[in-house]
Amino acid sequence: MSDTKLASRLRRERWLKLSAFLAIHSLALVLLFTIDNLLVSFVLAFVINYLLAPLVSYVERKRIPRHIAILIPFVTSGLIIGLAIYLVLPLVTAQITSLEAQLPIYQRDLLALIGRIEMRIKGLFNLHEFNVAQNVNTWLIAKTGELSTLLPSIISQSLTVALLAPFLAYFMLQDGRSVSRSLLAMVPNNLFELALNLHHQINEQMGGFIRARFLEAAIVGLVVWAGLAIIGFPYAPLLSIFAALMNLIPYVGPILGAVPAVLIALISEDGAIYSSMSLNLFVLTSVFFIAQLIDVLFIIPFVVARIVNLHPVTVILVIIIGAQLMGILGMVISIPVASVLKLTLTAVYNHLLEFRS
């Protein structure tokens, strides 16, 4: 075959393979974004997959077949979660019931607080007539009404996700590697080594990122729980779970995690553990500050060092875009997604510079 004929045949085949590869990925993306609950379940399944993968490999190293090696951490973590729910649920239910009973009081006190601040501002600056307290009250009533209407669908969606995510995660652990291999087989020869290396790097980075982030959140949650329990602040378990979950959001998360506790301290008598409001706030914020200090000084350098470095401004922008597109979930997944994009673009750029130099 002449060189020109071969070149044209290779070009045609490469485009065909690349198009098929991209078409499959695009179709998967369309399905993820159009089918209800699939995206959330898929993201959660990815998280479970990355959290359990090292355990599965550990069990597999004991010469246990992979399908059983997957079942062992699944069943074990299922039992641990079940036991935790069994032990914590009565506590959390009692706290929610108590919170529910206290909510009208909190609402009244919050409005009174806003009213007081409003009066002060008016006194200071002699501004136009505006009624923030009234507006907040209307907004709170509207939102509470919306929540009660949406609650059945939220519960049904959560149940679907709770069932679908572990199911998908099991198959990701069982067949994920062979699916990746089949997809990589579609990559043209000239891009194969690059694609394989890129896939490996992304996998490593994502795994490291997710495991480190969850470990970090768990440690921060435990520190907050211990701190709140020591100072005798109400709703310590609920507030620490919230702080741990919020800690998954970089930069903004730690502040958001402290907001409910600070609000309770400001407006509720339960939150007044000391007679002076400023001392009360100082002790409470110290708990969150110490948790963040431990996070920054010990957890991040030793646990989260593998996270892809993104500039703080990029992080804030990415979180805002994530929040705009997908709400809270968008905020949580925006950073890993941005890290993957950065990694992919850097690798492709390096490929253009180095692979072909």
Partner 1 sequence: MNILWDNIFRKAKKENDIRTVLKENALFHDLSDRELSFVQDIVHVRRYHSGEAVFRQGEVGVGMYIIVKGRVEIYVTDPTAAEDAFRDIYITQLLEGDFFGELSLVEENGRRTASAVARDETTLIGFFKPDLMEILERSPSAGVKIIFRLAEVLGRRLKETTDKVSDLRKTLKEMREPPPMTPYE
Region near partner 1 per CB under 8 A, out of 35-43, 56-64, 101-109, 205-213: 56-64
Question: Site for partner 1 (CB under 8 A): which residue of 10, 35, 163, 230?
Answer: 10
Q: Give the C-alpha distances (Å, rounded to integers) separating 70 from 51, 59, 222.
A: 12, 8, 28
User: What dihedral do alpha carbons 18, 22, 24, 26 form, nearest 10°?
Assistant: -170
Question: Site for partner 1 (CB under 8 A): which residue of 26, 93, 197, 286?
Answer: 197
Q: What is the DSSP letter of 296?
A: I
Q: Looking only at residues 294 through 353 of this chain, which bind partner 1 when binding is defined by CB under 8 A?
A: 351
Residue 301's CB is within 10 A of a number of other CB atoms, namely: 9
Backbone angle region of 327, left / alpha / beta, with phi > 0 → left and psi within -120 to 50 → alpha? left
Q: 278 or 357, CB closer to partner 1? A: 357
CA 60/CA 67 separation, integer angstroms: 9
Question: Site for partner 1 (CB under 8 A): which residue of 76, 135, 190, 346?
Answer: 190
CA 243/CA 46 separation, integer angstroms: 22
Region near partner 1 per CB under 8 A, out of 53-61, 84-92, 282-290, 337-345: 53-61
- 276 binds partner 1, rule: CB under 8 A: no
* Sign for the pseudo-dihedral over CA of 248, 249, 251, 253: negative
Residues 343 and 308 sit within 8 Å (Cβ to Cβ) = yes
CA 7/CA 10 separation, integer angstroms: 5
Q: Looking only at residues 115 through 144 of this chain, which bind partner 1 when binding is defined by CB under 8 A?
A: none
Region near partner 1 per CB under 8 A, out of 162-170, 190-198, 222-230, 266-274: 190-198
- 62 binds partner 1, rule: CB under 8 A: no
Q: 273 or 348, CB closer to partner 1? A: 348
Region near partner 1 per CB under 8 A, out of 27-35, 106-114, 173-181, 327-335: 173-181
CA 121/CA 241 separation, integer angstroms: 35
Question: Site for partner 1 (CB under 8 A): which residue of 34, 36, 61, 129?
Answer: 61
Minimal distance, residue 10 CB to partner 1, in Å = 6
- 9 binds partner 1, rule: CB under 8 A: yes
- 60 binds partner 1, rule: CB under 8 A: yes
Region near partner 1 per CB under 8 A, out of 113-121, 183-191, 241-249, 264-272: 183-191
| Helices (H), ranges, the chain | 3-34, 38-60, 66-125, 132-185, 189-231, 236-246, 253-267, 277-294, 300-302, 312-350
Q: Can you read off the two tokens belonging to residue 57?
A: 């490999």
Q: Can you read off the two tokens belonging to residue 152?
A: 């059945």
Q: 186 or 310, CB closer to partner 1? A: 186
Question: Site for partner 1 (CB under 8 A): which residue of 82, 193, 276, 286?
Answer: 193
Report helix angle 253-267 to 236-246, nearest 10: 150
Binding site for partner 1 (CB under 8 A): 1, 3, 6, 9-10, 57, 60-61, 177-178, 181, 184-185, 189-190, 192-193, 196-197, 199-200, 351, 354-357
